[in-house]
Structure 1
């Protein structure tokens, strides 16, 4: 396998022969960008079809659905540890393998198979937010900046040398879904730029610094439960991060209430009611007392009652205002009044 030493840029003088490996919609953006590039796509690897929907019908991944619109071989091995699957991949004699949210472990034999190794599109500015959920964890942590990193893959978890980065801002309105879409598009642009550089002037690899390493743990539904003893600014970030999945929630009258968007209330007014208490509404938001000490106020402006769809709180108050009487408590276990 050709290396990317720090002291030397590596380049080629022709379009690259590329194998693509990816599965979800995030990866499909990079595949689409490669299809429109000068580079030659040899084959696509993606996860096996999975049951989806109420009927649990076997459904192809977003990457497979896109690949099938083009004359590309599509491979869906259960594992790349199988020697036959490794031989099949190596037979393509690819210059490089591009990996984007593939979801399968790449053994060393696969990492070594392409001439220039395997490049990964990772949705953070490494070494911050290595791991499974970098998009959501960046918002949840209150980061002001994130981006994508094109990384040469090694045997570690997102530990490889960095080849190229692209940045984008996170503001107080950024949701997990919006940032996902922005980074997916940015990732497609970045991987094409990286391959273009490899096919021309070259790229220089930079080892990741040891300082600033953080890990983005996989999201889970239980952690989406809101703890109103936390400050409003922290809860607002979590609500935005978990939109559209797994969606932050609390309990109102022993039924789940999902919160899709919120912001901390500005100004000097603070809540004196216990955490989780519904305060007098301003007609546009559910105002919720937060914080064990700071007594901040959270303004939830989009929410969802059981059996309903997400609505602006203005609409919920007009239709179901009796559900949101000031003084009611929102908790993890069940609401009290």
Structure 2
């Protein structure tokens, strides 16, 4: 089976490596063009380009996959399947119809739940205990194509978006190889999605990490996990951004305090009142400082019970 692989970020790397180690015939790897990144705006490779170069694979980097010159190049490669994992561009119909087995996508949710750009983050933010990965046939919509295979994955209480992404990337890689094997054998029948069950996980903005103290303690703790490492949860203390990296519901359920009020400084962090219950801020980060324990922050900045977190209007 002749394969063209399309992907860009770290999430896609385990799938590419599984194809390489599995002996699949990879005709080319397509990834986004090199772009300036970071504070220094240094031009750097995508993780997929780096992995492809290390494996000695041909790399293509079109500005737009809809350009006719690129589509003609794909035609010349005569792929039997095009594997797409977090590529970053919508695949046009002219490419979708090229391969014999279709364009096969790995999506980090149990479709039709969490269609869209941020399924990993949203599953944690919503307090789910189970998510998964799906292989599907791409069509002209966003994550609307027929399902090939699915695998459930447990979301552990300590999982962050970062740790869950790593688990789903590995599971997705295995599922993709199984999908290709079964397609080649001819014993895998695509199943249409039930659109009535669809939910959506839209691309997160930086402000998605701002903590609303009106929420309950569980919701706040899930938000902190769901936006770690990006965009990161934050609140305000004395009009300065205070990032929150670890939090958990605290024992003080009934407090009568204003949401956002500091209730106590505990051994393992700062206890803050919520709309329902209270939350323990275990690891925080003030501006231009490293991460630190909540109690260390409280001691260093002389945080007192009764102080109010949140309320600033400036962006994080």
- Do these two structures clear the TM 0.5 threshold for a shared fold by scoring above it? yes
Unpaired runs of 5+ residues, structure 2, are none
Higher mean alpha-carbon deviation, 233-242 vs 198-207, is at 198-207
- C-alpha separation in 2, matches of 1:195 and 1:38: 12
CA contact (8 A) 1:252 1:334 kept: no
Q: Which residue of 2 aligns with 1:333?
A: 312
Q: Which residue of 1 aligns with 2:297?
A: 316
Unpaired runs of 5+ residues, structure 1, are 1-15
| Matching of residue 305 in structure 1 with residue 290 in structure 2 | no
* CA-to-aligned-CA distance 1:98-129 (integer Å, 9 cap, x gap): 00000011110000111111000000000000
Question: How far is 1:314 from its partner?
Answer: 4.1
Superposed counterparts of 1:230-249, under 5 Å: 230-249=215-234
* CA-to-aligned-CA distance 1:219-260 (integer Å, 9 cap, x gap): 111221111011111111111100000001111011100011
| Matching of residue 65 in structure 1 with residue 50 in structure 2 | yes
TM-score by length of 1: 0.90
- C-alpha separation in 1, matches of 2:195 and 2:39: 45
Q: Which residue of 2 aligns with 1:20?
A: 5
Aligned Cα root-mean-square deviation (Å): 1.5
CA contact (8 A) 2:101 2:183 kept: no
| Matching of residue 209 in structure 1 with residue 194 in structure 2 | yes
Task: Tell me: CA distance 1:115–1:194, structure 2 relative to 1, closer, same or farther (3 Å).
Answer: same
Superposed counterparts of 1:1-337, under 5 Å: 16-200=1-185, 202-266=187-251, 269-291=253-275, 294=276, 296-317=277-298, 320-322=300-302, 324-333=303-312
- C-alpha separation in 2, matches of 1:174 and 1:208: 28
Aligned length: 314
After superposing on structure 2, the runs of 4+ consecutive aligned residues of structure 1 that deviate more than 4 Å are none
Secondary structure at 1:102 match in 2: coil
Higher mean alpha-carbon deviation, 206-215 vs 62-71, is at 206-215
CA contact (8 A) 1:285 1:300 kept: yes
CA contact (8 A) 2:247 2:283 kept: yes
Question: How far is 1:178 from its partner?
Answer: 0.7
Question: How far is 1:54 from its partner?
Answer: 2.1
Which is bigger in relative contact order (C-alpha 8 A, separation at least 6)?
Answer: 1
